[in-house]
Amino acid sequence: MASYGTYNSPGGFKLTLYGIVILAAFFVMFLIVRGMYHEHPFQPINAERAQLRKKTRMELTAKATEALNTAGWVDQNKKIVRLPVARAIELTIEAYKRPEAARSNLIARVQKASAPAPAQPAQPSPFE
């Protein structure tokens, strides 16, 4: 028969000490949370703030919708444009009728878009 050793209970003193430490930790957490509530009291969202948030959200939605549905420049120096989503889908479908050409074109456009900007010309020193 196998003997797995004896189980030693921690004893009454250790259990009491562990309990006191755990209770002290919870009390400290309670004090920290209570202090946070007193430093930063809860401010309910009033009607004025709700209207401001709604107005801001509507403005952001309008800008995003405009960006999705209109053409524009992303980077005029690199000649990168933003197309409306519907037109971009049409161009993608048209391009992928020949997958090899579409892939090479895509790779060339990515390299062009991610190319570093040209270095600025050196400014002559005012002391020269």
Name the nearest CA neighbour of 108 among 80, 128, 83.
Answer: 80
- 3-state SS track over 32-61: HHHHHHHHCCCCCCCHHHHHHHHHHHHHHH
Q: How many domains does the chain contain in total?
A: 1
Provide the token pair at 68. Answer: 């999705």
Q: How many angstroms separate the CA atoms of 45 and 31, rounded?
A: 26
Residue 11 included in any domain:
no
pLDDT at 109: 86
Residue 101 included in any domain:
yes
Q: How many angstroms separate the CA atoms of 73 and 66, rounded?
A: 13
Residue 79 included in any domain:
yes
Name the nearest CA neighbour of 75 among 108, 117, 43.
Answer: 117
Q: How many angstroms separate the CA atoms of 124 and 118, rounded?
A: 18
pLDDT at 126 over 70: yes
Residue 10 included in any domain:
no
Is residue 90 very low, low, confident or very high in pLDDT (cuts 50, 70, 90)? very high
* Segment 4-17, tens digit of pLDDT: 666 777 788 888 99
Contact in structure between 85 and 68 (CB atoms under 8 Å): yes
**Unique residue bearing structure tokens 């400014």:** 123
How high does pLDDT run on average in the chain? 86
Residue 100 included in any domain:
yes
Identify the domain containing residue 78 by its residue range: 71-114
Scanning 70-98, the segments in alpha helix (DSSP H) are 85-95
pLDDT at 54: 93
The average pLDDT across 101-121 equals: 83
Is residue 61 very low, low, confident or very high in pLDDT (cuts 50, 70, 90)? very high
Residue 96 included in any domain:
yes
Residue 108 included in any domain:
yes
Residue 85 included in any domain:
yes
